[in-house]
Amino acid sequence: MRIDLMTLFPEMCEAVLGESIIGRARQAGKVDLRCVNFRDFTLDKHGHVDDAPYGGGMGMILSPQPIFDCYQSLYDPAREEKPHLIYLSPKGAPFTQRRAVELAQLDRLVLLCGHYEGVDERLLDEIVDEELSIGDFVVTGGELPALLVADAVCRMLPGVLADAACFEEESHFTGLLEYPQYTRPPVWRDRAVPEILLSGHHANIARWRREQSLRETARRRPALLQTADLDASDKKFLASLEETGEPAKNTDE
């Protein structure tokens, strides 16, 4: 898979994408990640890529020409299919684990990092296929959101993680939050690892983990249960939590 980030700060993006698991995946050829500076495509003699908004208002707006020309440089429309272009925006649809899995099925992906007060709407109408948001808040630029999307998508690709099991039991992959995890020592500050995890009984451990995922989701993000794939045993366990007065914690709005 190839992912291009169109940004004013390619060095910032490279500093993140060149490290850790994603950095090793790039070196091994598991994913092709490229960062391109759309300032290089401006026709303005002073190198400007923004201008004042029509109608007045605070801040500056990114001009369409540099971004459009940058995007056109990324592929040959005569020989290649248009890459899927995502603009990272607070107005976009919430980015989810499910969407990360879907995007990982693509061959090409382009992420546009906005800045200032946004991008000329005509450019968005012309080339953007999708807008995504990483949360109901605003940051100073689209680089951090784009890096989060790129990381989430890349780790779904074959060979990036050691095994699919590395992500299949994580929070949100199955629609539930992840179960609690423990490591050595078996007792720390008078807190013991749950006995079942030391039993070696894999079927019982698997069921315990499933129930803990259900419990964590019910306590912290109960709305997720509305769309989770639940079997009869899951529903029975959730009903038992209600009978005993759980869940006691709810962080859903």
Among candidate residues 154, 185, 208, the one where a domain is terminated? 154
In this structure, is residue 250 part of a structural domain?
no
Q: What is the CA radius of gyration of the chain?
A: 23
Does residue 90 share a domain with residue 63? yes
Q: Residue 166: which pLDDT band, with cuts at 50, 70 and 90?
A: low
pLDDT at site 167:
53
Token pair, residue 27, equals 């070196």
Domain that holds residue 150: 2-154
Q: Residue 164: which pLDDT band, with cuts at 50, 70 and 90?
A: low
Lowest mean pLDDT among 57-66, 107-116, 169-178, 237-246: 169-178
pLDDT at site 171:
56
CB atoms within 10 A of CB 5: 27
In this structure, is residue 141 part of a structural domain?
yes
- Taking 60 as the threshold, does the pLDDT of residue 170 lie above it? no
CA 182 from chain centre, in angstroms, equals 26
* Buried-state track 175-212, b at ≥16 Cβ within 10 A, e below 16: bbbbbeeeeeeeeeeeeeeeeebeeeeeeebeebbbbb
In this structure, is residue 84 part of a structural domain?
yes
| Gap between the Cα atoms of 239 and 92, Å rounded | 36
Number of domains in the chain: 2
CB 22 within 8 A of CB 31: yes
Does residue 124 share a domain with residue 11? yes
| Gap between the Cα atoms of 49 and 40, Å rounded | 9
pLDDT in tens, 126-157: 999 999 999 999 999 999 999 999 999 999 99
pLDDT in tens, 76-92: 989 999 999 999 999 99
High-pLDDT (> 90) share of the chain, % = 88
- Which of helix, strand or coil describes residue 50? strand
pLDDT in tens, 171-186: 566 789 999 999 999 9
CA 204 from chain centre, in angstroms, equals 32
Q: What is the domain-level CATH number for residue 147?
A: 3.40.1280.10
Q: Please give the model's pTM, rounded to 2 decimal places.
A: 0.86
Q: What is the domain-level CATH number for residue 203?
A: 1.10.1270.20
Does residue 109 share a domain with residue 192? no
CB 175 within 8 A of CB 223: no
- Taking 70 as the threshold, does the pLDDT of residue 242 lie above it? yes
In this prediction, residues 193-206 reach a mean pLDDT of: 96
